[in-house]
């Protein structure tokens, strides 16, 4: 469907849980956050109903995220049902990868087409420093299991944080050269606990310099039209990309809205304006009225984000929104 600014909105990111088996420094405090009470989290049946309603409004692309989506009990059954909803054309998941060694083939069998894996470092000590728990070897194994399982493409999301992993960018470049992996370097966003860490922010331009990429290489083979700028340098099996929410707005072409685990439709990642669908879902509201509520929230999607204005962002941390 179109919003009031004539943008075609067809992409729904669904957070199925706020729980996570990691505690990444830029995402969650070490002690975790106050978890949402179980009964406030949408059941899978409720999420599937909203997916069906959204397809009637023209939504075609769905990304399952969290917290960590693979820790939620029953996730594979949910994915199996979501994948076959008429109108679902693109069905993907974002994960920290820890559980992929045992789940990659199951995801593929359930109908998930592609996977984004968050991996900011390939060094085990540094991984611990960033995620506070977990073994990087499991994530790396998960990356290769995903390739073997035929999830395609497998994308690696690298959040670049000054003084934490800036020196590792060339290693990720090598990874994209050797394997058919799409490595995307992401600017740190000032959300939740990261809102006070702006000294850590590395702009895309600086990342390109750290990678030693020349602009003339960058203009070869741009692969995508979305928020990521993709490049496939000659001789690479994979590609690299840059996602800049801060130094380059992509609000004009934004095509997505988000559903939080507690049933709020969030038209912009960076705006605290949310519409609760949970109560409507639970008090016998018809599909027709739910569809209207959904459509109204999408229609009122803001023209652009106000990420630099903390008062407008709201209190959620990234793990509660889903990235």
Residues that bind ligand SF4 (CB under 6 A): 20, 22-24, 27-28, 66-68, 96, 118, 318-319
Q: Which is nearer to ligand SAM, 164 or 189 (CB)?
A: 189
Q: How far is the CB of 282 from ligand SAM (least distance, A)?
A: 25
Residue 272 Cβ vs ligand SF4, minimum distance, rounded to whole Å: 19
Smallest distance, ligand SAM to C-beta of residue 118, A:
4
| Residue 41's binding partner out of ligand SAM, ligand SF4, none, with CB under 5 to 8 Å set by partner kind | none
| Contacted entry of ligand SF4, ligand SAM, none for residue 28, CB cut-off 5 to 8 Å set by kind | ligand SF4
Name which of 114 and 301 has its Cβ closer to ligand SF4.
Answer: 114
Q: How far is the CB of 135 from ligand SAM (least distance, A)?
A: 15
Residue 22 or 122: the one with the smaller Cβ distance to ligand SF4 is: 22
- Residue 65's contacts (CB-CB under 8 Å, 6 or more residues apart) are 13, 14, 15, 16, 93, 94, 322, 323
- Residues of this chain that interact with ligand SAM (CB under 6 A) are 20, 26-27, 65-66, 68, 94-96, 118, 157, 159, 186, 188-189, 191, 194, 318-319, 322-323
Q: How far is the CB of 10 from ligand SAM (least distance, A)?
A: 20
**3 or 68: whose CB is closer to ligand SAM?**
68
Scan for tokens 């407008």, then name that residue.
312
Half-sphere exposure of 239 (CA within 13 A, CB side): 18
User: Six-digit token pair at 299?
Assistant: 């229609």
The C-alpha atoms of residue 173 and residue 236 are separated, in whole angstroms, by: 9
Can you read off the two tokens belonging to residue 265? 């439709």
CB 116 within 8 A of CB 186: no
Please name which of 276, 260, 274 lies closest in space to residue 15, comparing C-alpha atoms.
260
List the single partner that 244 binds among ligand SAM, ligand SF4, none, CB under 5 to 8 Å by kind.
none
**In the complex, minimum distance from the CB of residue 117 to ligand SAM, in angstroms, rounded to a whole number:** 7
Compute the least distance from the CB of residue 21 to ligand SAM, in Å. Answer: 9
Per partner kind, with CB cut-offs from 5 to 8 A, the member of ligand SF4, ligand SAM, none near residue 188 is ligand SAM
User: Which one of ligand SF4, ligand SAM, none is in contact with 157 (Cβ closer than 5 to 8 A by kind)?
Assistant: ligand SAM
Contact predicate 69/93, CB 8 Å: yes
Q: Which does 277 bind (CB under 5 to 8 A by kind): ligand SAM, ligand SF4, none?
A: none
Indicate which of ligand SAM, ligand SF4, none lies near residue 265 (CB less than 5 to 8 Å, by partner kind): none
């Amino acid at each position: 469907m179109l919003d009031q600014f004539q943008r075609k909105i067809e992409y729904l990111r669904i957070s199925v849980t706020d729980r996570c088996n990691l505690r990444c420094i830029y995402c969650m405090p070490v002690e975790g956050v106050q978890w949402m009470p179980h009964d406030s989290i949408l059941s899978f049946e409720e999420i599937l109903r909203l997916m069906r309603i959204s397809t009637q409004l023209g939504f075609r692309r769905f990304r399952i995220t969290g917290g960590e989506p693979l820790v939620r009990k029953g996730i594979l059954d949910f994915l199996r049902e979501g994948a076959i909803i008429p109108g679902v054309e693109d069905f993907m998941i974002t994960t920290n990868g820890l559980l992929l060694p045992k789940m990659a083939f199951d995801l593929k069998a359930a109908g998930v087409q592609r996977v984004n894996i968050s991996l900011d470092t390939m060094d085990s000590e540094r991984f611990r420093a960033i995620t506070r728990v977990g073994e990087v070897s499991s994530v790396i194994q998960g990356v290769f299991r995903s390739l073997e399982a035929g999830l395609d493409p497998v994308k690696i999301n690298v959040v670049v944080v000054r003084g934490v992993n800036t020196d590792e960018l060339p290693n990720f470049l090598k990874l994209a050269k050797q394997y058919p992996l799409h490595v995307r370097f992401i600017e740190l966003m000032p959300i939740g606990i990261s809102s006070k860490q702006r000294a850590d922010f590395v702009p895309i331009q600086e990342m390109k310099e750290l990678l030693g990429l020349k602009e003339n290489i960058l203009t070869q083979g741009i692969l995508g039209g979305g928020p990521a700028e993709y490049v496939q340098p000659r001789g690479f099996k994979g590609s690299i990309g840059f996602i800049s929410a801060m130094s380059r707005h992509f609000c004009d072409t934004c095509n997505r809205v988000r559903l939080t685990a507690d049933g709020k439709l969030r038209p912009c990642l960076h705006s605290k304006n949310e519409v609760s669908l949970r109560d409507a879902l639970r008090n016998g509201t018809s599909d027709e009225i739910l569809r209207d509520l959904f459509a109204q929230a999408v229609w009122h999607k803001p023209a652009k984000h106000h990420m630099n204005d903390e008062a407008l962002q709201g209190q959620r941390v990234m793990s509660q929104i889903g990235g």
